[in-house]
Structure 1
Amino acid sequence: MENQDQALNIVWVADNDSLATWCKYWAELPVIAVDTEFIRRTTYFPITGLIQISEGEKAVLIDPLTIDQWEPLRALMVNPSVMKVFHACSEDLDVFERLLGVLPTPFYDTQIGEAYAGAQWSLSYVKLVASYLNIEVAKDETRSDWIQRPLTDAQKRYAALDVVYLAQLYPLQVAKLEDKNMLDWVLEDCESLKWQHQMNADPEQNWANVKTAWRLSPEGLTLLRMLFIWRDEQARKENIPKGQILKDRTLWALGKTLPDHHKAISETEELTGKQHRLYGDEILGMVALVKNLSEDELQLPLETPLPSQAGDLTKAIKAYSRERAQTLEIAPEAMLKRKLLEPLVHHLFDGSVIDWQNPAMTGWRREVIIDPVLERFKKAEIEH
């Protein structure tokens, strides 16, 4: 296997005019590889330290600490004629949404692609480069401080290689996908990832996912929902991680006990004295509001977990999904993820409605696995 000692053409871009010039160049290309470096240890929002873009030859490193006119890059990121190629891009989407106010469109994720091209799930960038280019990439700068200036030569080289090799391996992976007639499947999953990113960012869509939320009373659920949404707003306002406001377990405990005085709040599980001082009055205000609601205004009970009898059905669907994945030579995890399996089992077991708004439930996956599962394991044939 080759090492990474080849000469690199690295360009440092630290002013608005240079960025605009490069964006004009990239806008004429069909494909660019993109990556970001950031830190997010003590903040709600990622702090962008670097943006890297390459067409496979030059690695352009964009300094977000000195640039403040982002419209050219924003236009590039949503240019429908330019495919933006990433690897494991979930956190990169956070960076671009924060910095530019847009999500890259169209985009392609090579980690998703490899689940179909090589039947490898969640493959690392290092292993992907080794597989396609026979090159060993060191990852010794993974935990670097990307906000410091100047960046070291080692940091710049590390950042550059993340996009140069990505641009080079992309057409090789696409060729494999085209041979398997699965390129459209990957592009569908990339769009689905973007949809899931938007859902994950919306607290209204996620409050019911707090562990054992279904155990709470309608009053407790109503408080949990209010606290969950308030916590997200507060974390954004203070720009600190949500867990520093209140942990999920604390939200649940407040929903369970519905404390109506400060002493009761102080006894809440995993709630610190600092959190009590800062947010105690807010919590009491929300509890009081919930207790003044009419029964019709309270949150409806959540769907309870499936009983143990549904375990056999779940195992059978998993086995069937694995068989289909093996036949198609794709990663089993790509065929039917847990977030898709659970609603199918619920639907078959107790008639729950399937959310067809989820794009991962449509397209190729509906035809290849979801509809066949619903037909094969239809409710009439299940004994429970």
Structure 2
Amino acid sequence: MPEPVIQDLASLAGLCEQLRDRPWIALDTEFMRTRTYYARLCLVQTATPDVIACIDTLVLPDFEALLDVVYSPSVLKVIHSARQDLEVFADIRGAPPAPVFDTQIAASLCGYDDQIGYGALVESITGHKLPKLHTRADWEARPLPPEQLHYAEDDVRYLRDVYQFLAQKLESLGRSAWLTEECAMLTDPGLYRNDPEAAFHRLRQGHALPPAAQTVLCELAAWREHTAQRSNLPRAWVAADAALVETALAAPQTPEALGRIDGMGGAPSHKWSGEILEAIRRGQAMTPARLWDEPRRLDRRQQTLYEQLQARARAVAAELKISSTLLAPRRELVKLIAGDMSGTLARGWRRRVIGEELLQMCASQPGSATVS
């Protein structure tokens, strides 16, 4: 049987008293966001070596005491594939909690597959095979069935052993600092800011539009982001990407013309036609500009250099027994070839392990960009 669920403030206070002085806690969340912009946090699971608890965040009047523990800088949060969990917390408090130990990233630095799932990792390390039930459960329904709660507890029950194993292995490999760097990037608050003015970056089709349409699309993307946030609706429920692109190209000036665009004739034109047309006018009033970076294409010389860098990265990755795509992804190699020093190969542990060597390979090529 699962442990009793924390559903009142007194029980939550007692649990937090047990958690707040621990050096680390295993952590997981269950949330729903199929019909909303912001995730609705339904359950938080946490564990220490001697505690396992599920906190019902839907029933509790508030769970600030738990958030205070989660956001304590002295408590390491152990999470598997932490990005979505951190985003949920960032929506609540404006920034993700830190520090974090992401067991999926830790596993990849220890030689496991880059995107290894929790179940596969648990089985590999502990020998326990987790059932695949409840992966698409409705976590908003109450009461939660006992078997569903037991499934939720398992998400942190075995995370404790996985963490201790991986932490020891990283230490023995001399890679603990690598994980610290990776998780510091993962907990950068900038990753979780959905700034409407930067929302156009989500629309990959934008680079194919002429400059005048790009400025309109930028305004339409900002409008959609504002509206989705204000209405707490998924972006696609406000307007689909393809509809925004088509609207930017057509630049309709009346509600009737807007309604004739595929994907804009329903809720968008009925609810927000005035706002959409105003966004179009703002975009048209701006100086046309190319806002999307053109996809980087390698010429013959650069392609040859890329293949040399990739071969060296694969050799070093094989020596380290980690994935070459983890060590030196294609996009990072292309940045080096272009002289772009903003990538991960130009700093941190990757620069020490292989980046410096790759930079020298780039610098030795005739006509290459200067890098340092």
TM-score (norm 2): 0.89
Change (3 A) 1:321 1:261: farther
CA distance in 1, matches of 2:191, 2:78: 19
Q: Residues 377 and 200 of structure 1: is their aligned pair in 2 closer, same or farther, counting only changes over 3 Å?
A: farther
Aligned pair partner of 1:207 in 197, 200, 204: 200
Q: Which residue of 1 aligns with 2:309?
A: 317
Aligned residue number for residue 86 of structure 1:
79
Q: Are the equivalent residues in 2 in contact too, given 1:10–1:58 (CA < 8 A)? A: no
Find out whether 1:216 has 2:209 as its counterpart.
Answer: yes
The one-letter amino acid of 2:222's match is: I
User: Does the aligned pair in 2 maintain the 1:12–1:60 contact within 8 Å?
Assistant: yes
Which structure 2 residue ranges, 5 or more long, are not aligned? none
Cα distance change, pair 50–109 in 1 and its aligned pair in 2 (3 A) = same
1:185 is aligned, of 178, 182, 198, to 178
Aligned residue number for residue 159 of structure 1: 152
Q: CA deviation at 1:206?
A: 4.7
Tell me by how many angstroms 1:360 deviates: 7.7
Distance 1:355 1:187 in 2: 19
Deviations 1:205-259 (A, max 9, x none): 4523422322333322222221112211111111111011112222222232323
CA RMSD, Structure 1 to Structure 2 (Å)? 2.5
Match of 2:274? 281
Matched AA of 1:194 = T
Q: Distance in 2 between matches of 1:315 and 1:247?
A: 38
1:91 partner letter: Q
> In the TM superposition, what is the alpha-carbon distance from 1:100 to its structure 2 partner?
4.2
Whether 1:355 and 2:334 are equivalent positions in the alignment is no
- Partners of 1:267 and 1:99 lie apart in 2 by 39
**Shift in Å, 1:203:** 4.1
Over 3 Å counting, the alpha-carbon distance change for 1:268 and 1:343 in structure 2 is: farther
Which blocks of at least 5 consecutive residues in structure 1 are unaligned? 1-7
Distance in structure 1 (CA, Å) of the matches to 2:271 and 2:333: 41
> Which position in structure 2 is the counterpart of 1:112?
105
- Which residue does the alignment assign to 1:236? 229
Residue 344 (str. 1) matches residue 349 (str. 2): no
- TM norm structure 1: 0.87
Maintained 8 Å contact 1:111/1:122:
yes
Amino acid at match of 2:295: P
**Structure with more contact order per residue of length (Cα contacts < 8 Å, sep ≥ 6):** 1
Segment drifting more, 60-69 vs 302-311: 302-311
Contact 1:39 1:47 in 2 (8 A): yes
CA 1:260 to 1:373, structure 2 compared with 1: closer, same or farther past 3 Å? farther
Partner residue, 1:70: 63
Matches within 5 A, 1:239-250: 239-250=232-243
Q: Which amino acid aligns with 1:248?
A: D
Offset, 1:72: 1.8
Label 1:55 to 1:11 Cα distance change in 2 as closer, same or farther (>3 A): farther
* 8 Å Cα contact 2:108/2:323 also seen in 1: yes
Q: AA paired with 2:354? A: I
Q: 1:354 to 1:265 in 2, by over 3 A?
A: farther
Do residues 306 (structure 1) and 296 (structure 2) align?
yes
- Indicate whether 1:133 and 2:126 are aligned: yes
Aligned twin of 1:370: 355
Amino acid at match of 1:369: I
Cα shift readout 1:316-355 (whole Å, capped 9, x = no counterpart): 433332222112111223212355344334x24xxxx443
Q: Distance in 2 between matches of 1:95 and 1:67?
A: 17
CA separation of 1:155 and 1:117: change in aligned 2, threshold 3 A:
same
Q: 1:63 to 1:324 in 2, by over 3 A?
A: same
Report deviation, 1:278. Answer: 2.1
Superposition pairs for residues 1-20 of structure 1, below 5 Å?
10-20=3-13
Question: Contact 2:218/2:283 (CA < 8 Å) preserved in 1?
Answer: no
1:3 corresponds in structure 2 to none
Q: Within the alignment, does 1:262 sit opposite 2:255 as a pair?
A: yes
Identify the residue that residue 23 of structure 1 maps to in structure 2.
16
Change in Cα spacing, 1:360 to 1:284, as seen in structure 2 (3 Å) is farther
Query: How many Å apart are 1:163 and its aligned residue?
Result: 0.3
Q: 1:47 to 1:11 in 2, by over 3 A?
A: same
Instruction: Note the alpha carbon deviations across 1:130-179, whole angstroms, 9 max, x for none.
Output: 11111111120111111111111101110111101101221111111111
